[in-house]
């Protein structure tokens, strides 16, 4: 009986050891993100910071209550995709960026939606796009903010 326990222990240890080994430097790895497989480049492939940021999706969660969003400052780089998840906690609200032709449906308390915003490739760092809630006088009451285009190196 003891030899059987020893064999089982040895087999278990080898499984654990093989599961803990890492990829060598010439292999690629992949991870699944949102149903899509994201390939990681081998280390010898070098890409510029602008390409990395451009391929990265920046995501914001924006909570809406009466007459205010949870933040009034969004940033993204030229050519970058930005996703804004609007969560309405109080009242009725939407999310609008006129210059980028973005407008969600009006949402009621307890509802949420996600909108994708593409930052133009030719947008200069420092360009500002106002965003706001178009319901009633919400914008006049202060329910607005600014999406600022930043240089790739300025993105956190």
The angle subtended at Cα 118 by Cα 115 and Cα 123, nearest 5°, is 145
Structure confidence at residue 3 (pLDDT): 55
Structure confidence at residue 48 (pLDDT): 38
Ordered domains of the chain (ranges, CATH):
49-154 (2.60.40.420)
pLDDT, averaged per 10 consecutive residues of the chain (156 residues), comes to 52 48 41 45 42 71 96 96 98 98 97 97 97 98 97 60
Structure tokens at 134: 């178009």
Rg from Cα positions in the chain: 24
Sign of the dihedral defined by the CA atoms of residues 115, 123, 100, 142, in that order: positive
Structure confidence at residue 56 (pLDDT): 86
**Quick check: helix, strand or coil at residue 79?**
coil
Structure confidence at residue 12 (pLDDT): 52
């Amino acid at each position: 009986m003891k030899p059987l326990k020893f064999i089982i222990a040895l087999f278990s240890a080898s499984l654990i050891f093989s599961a803990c080994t890492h990829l060598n430097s010439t292999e690629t790895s992949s991870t699944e993100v949102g149903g899509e497989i994201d390939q990681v480049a081998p280390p010898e492939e070098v890409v510029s910071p602008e390409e990395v940021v451009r391929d990265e999706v920046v995501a914001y969660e924006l909570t809406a209550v009466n007459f205010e969003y949870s933040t009034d400052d969004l940033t993204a780089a030229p050519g970058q995709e930005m996703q804004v998840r609007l969560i309405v906690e109080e009242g009725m609200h939407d999310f609008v960026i006129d210059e980028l032709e973005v407008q969600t449906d009006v949402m009621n308390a307890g509802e949420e939606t996600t909108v994708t915003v593409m930052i133009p490739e030719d947008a200069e760092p420092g360009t500002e796009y106002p965003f706001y809630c178009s319901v009633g006088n919400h914008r006049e009451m202060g329910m607005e903010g600014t999406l600022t285009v930043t240089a790739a190196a300025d993105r956190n």
